[in-house]
Structure 1
Amino acid sequence: MGELSLPEQLALTAETVEQNLAHGDQVHAPRPIDHTAAFRARRAAVAAGDELTAAGYRVDGLYRRLLTVWLEFSAMTAVDHATAAAFTEEVVGIVRRHGGRYDGWGGFLVPPDPA
């Protein structure tokens, strides 16, 4: 499967937010969101990780599997439509500047407070 365009990534993000809403997620509540990206070279993954760290993300892992170097990173954030679109656009831009392919994001749902 080839790399998704930014509009395709943003469409997937919107779909994920809608699925979260359908499950009762409190999308405006911050929670840890995990991201992954793939690179051909460790040097590029490290450089992307440095830029992501400067942008407020935490690098959680860097490992090689076959011919791919995987970068795992995260941030505490809400996942409402506007916030999720903004972080998707930001991380796709950073990952691509370093020759990588963004593999998406995910995290736990935040249930409503019991009344």
Structure 2
Amino acid sequence: MTKRTPPYSPEVRERAVRMVFDHRDEYTSQYDAIRSIAAKIGCSGETLRHWVRQAERDQGLRAGPTSTEQERIKALEREVRELRPANEILRKASAYFAQAELDRRFKP
């Protein structure tokens, strides 16, 4: 699986989120600010809304996992995906060797 480069640099994301926070009072709602600023930086309103929501979670203003927690969750899920097949192989090997040991003991 190839890792693709995000289309927007972290600096652009931070600046866009900061603009939404700084200019929120100039608009009737946060969503209007997001739509306006998204059009200016060239991303979709939904993308910027996602960045703003994540920044609010990272700052403790909104409930939910922070960016570091999300990275940790992804790493743990990846580890679980890798360990499940290994555990299944070990379980089958253990059963095979246990059966082989029983067969060996009872043969004359």
TM tier, shorter chain?
A: under 0.3
Query: Which structure's CA Rg is the greater one?
Result: 2
TM-score by length of 1: 0.24
TM-score by length of 2: 0.25
Higher RCO (CA < 8 A, seq sep 6+): 1
